[in-house]
Amino acid sequence: MDGPAHTDPSSTPGPGTLRPPADLARTLGALRASGWKSVPVAQELRRNAMARIAAGEPLVPGVLGFEDTVIPQLENAILAGHDVILLGERGQAKTRVIRALVGLLDEWLPIVEGSEINDDPYSPVSRAAINAVSEQGDDTPVAWVHRSQRYGEKLATPDTSIADLIGEVDPIKIAEGRYLSDELALHYGLIPRVNRGIFAINELPDLAERIQVGLLNVLEERDVQIRGHRIRLPLDVALVATANPEDYTNRGRIITPLKDRFGAQIRTHYPFDTMTEVKIMESEAELPAAGIVVTVPSYLKEVVAEISQLARRSSHLNQRSGVSVRLSIANYETLVANSVRRAIRTGEPVAVPRISDLSALVPSTQGKVEVEAMEEGHEQEVVAQLVAAATLAVYRRRVTLDDPGAIVGAFTEQVVVHAGDDLPSAAYLAVLADIPELEPPTRALAGPDAAESPALMASALEFLLEGLHLTKRLNKDSSGPRALYRGRK
């Protein structure tokens, strides 16, 4: 959900840049002498999870909103040594949670040097490693792999094959002179290559049912069988998967025997409240670095988050597909980008988003929500309704006017206020000079830095005017990002 402090395998430096400490054992004999003990990966995860829990550290750093729901269930699953399915709609941090589990592995793990499947030096399973240990004994070279290299991930697609996941006979090795019956002729798939590690399958229901059958042995008997070879690879793999509940009826399903073999099915969810969504936005968003200071008022952050919260309850949107947290992040980035664009054009040193900038959210919203069939062709109207409802909800929470009648009374027939995303902040200060009744609530909303920031005052004034309009105290004529506020007749 946000920029977490966890090891992300997709961004980990390659093997050439990861160097194990120089004092680690380099032969099987030295490894035995060091006292290192081999443990199953489930026990390794359990041990490190217990250490984090005891230290009061989060099991999944950087993921917000799951502290009292998903995380306790995940802790139970890991302590129980279970394989896990995370079930939830798009944008619920399922992949983020899975990747964070890499941090529960030991930093370095010894393997038989040259092993393709991370063979345990004490108990190798591949033919090449077995031969090496048999021939060299305590002189068998040992290599160390970083925990980031013990994680594998596959996006399930209908064309995924058993060869991709488990392995296949390598025709090149056959061409080099090996026999089909020779175990050394095998090319291992993704799962064997993360032996003694974690393997993740994203969108498991999209995997063809006949391929799902191939995972049964991995989960239950903890081995794989390749083609007609009379071999058994007793792999040690923690298997985790993600699935969207909608997939069970649309694109595919998880076969019952496979579901039965997963020890835990954990339901994820979207943020329950606006402030959690705000925290996710703040930590995940990548804001423009244009040499301009960006200040986003807290009430506008709440509006952006509230849009997503309302979208998840809207009857105009297809709720089965979900409304991702990515909607809030993208809208927040767009809001800031529009304010930065204005600051560049007006030459202002500070970019502060305003209500008029919310009109720029249509492109970043439309691609992340699905309107119901009856609403097709009216996407912009649906988005505009969500923005208005979110603004009204935040206005009612944040603004209490001591004398709204005095403000409304100041809008005579001759008094109108122009607003827009292209106006400089100075234009709004001129409005406050002409209508002094607006100045106290505007300054209170802008906060303690208002005196030194015309841009903050401009943003607060727009929010105040929009709130007065939405509470039916002022009229508004609008065209895109431009608006005119006037008294009610």
Q: What is the pLDDT of residues 392-404, one digit of tens each?
A: 999 999 999 988 9
Sign of the torsion angle spanned by Cα atoms 233, 259, 156, 145: negative
The gap from C-alpha 55 to its chain's centroid, in whole angstroms, comes to 25
Q: DSSP secondary structure string, 123-166?
A: B--SHHHHHHHHHHGGG-BEEEEEGGGGEEEEE--TT--HHHHT
Please give the mean pLDDT across all residues of the chain.
Answer: 88
CB atoms within 10 A of CB 423: 19
Cβ neighbors of 34 (< 8 A, separation 6 or more) are: 25
What is the average per-residue pLDDT within 51-66? 93
Amino acid at 468: L
State residue 251's pLDDT score: 57
Give CA–CA dist 81/70, Å, rounded.
Answer: 17
Rounded average pLDDT over 366-371: 85
pLDDT score for 466: 96
pTM of the model: 0.85
Residue 146 confidence (pLDDT) above 50: yes
Q: Tokens at residue 461, please?
A: 């004034």
**DSSP conformation class of 371:** B
Residue 263 has pLDDT above 50, yes or no: yes
CB neighbour list of residue 347: distance below 8 Å, 6 or more residues apart: none
The tens digit of pLDDT for each residue in 451-460 reads 788 999 999 9
> At 354, is the secondary structure helix, strand, or coil?
coil
Distance from C-alpha of 309 to C-alpha of 301, rounded to nearest angstrom:
13
Please, which pLDDT band fits residue 222 given cuts at 50, 70 and 90? confident
Following CA atoms 51, 107, 104, 87 in sequence, which dihedral angle do they give, to the nearest 10 degrees? 180
Query: Which residue(s) pair with 202 in the sheet?
Result: 155
For residues 4 and 98, is the Cβ–Cβ distance under 8 A? no
Task: Considering the domain delimited by 9-267, tell me its CATH architecture.
Answer: 3-Layer(aba) Sandwich (3.40)
Residue type (1 letter), 444? A
Q: Which residue has the higher pLDDT, 59 or 218?
A: 59
Of 123, 115, 116, residue with least CA distance to 142:
115
Q: How confident is the model at residue 8 (pLDDT cuts 50, 70, 90)?
A: very low
If you average pLDDT over residues 226-250, what whole number do you get? 75
Q: What are phi and psi for residue 328, nearest 5 degrees?
A: -60, -45
Position 316: which residue type?
Answer: H
Please provide residue 239's backbone torsions phi and psi, each rounded to the nearest 5 degrees: -105, 130
In Å, how far are 226, 261, 278, 412, 424 from 301, measured between CA atoms? 54, 43, 6, 33, 21
Give domain limits for the chain.
Answer: 9-267, 274-487
Q: Which residues of 292-314 are buried (b: 16+ CB within 10 A; e: fewer)?
A: eebbbbebbbbbbbbbbbbbbeb
Instruction: Give the rounded distance of the alpha carbon of 295 from its chain centre.
Output: 24
Residue 161 has a pLDDT of 87
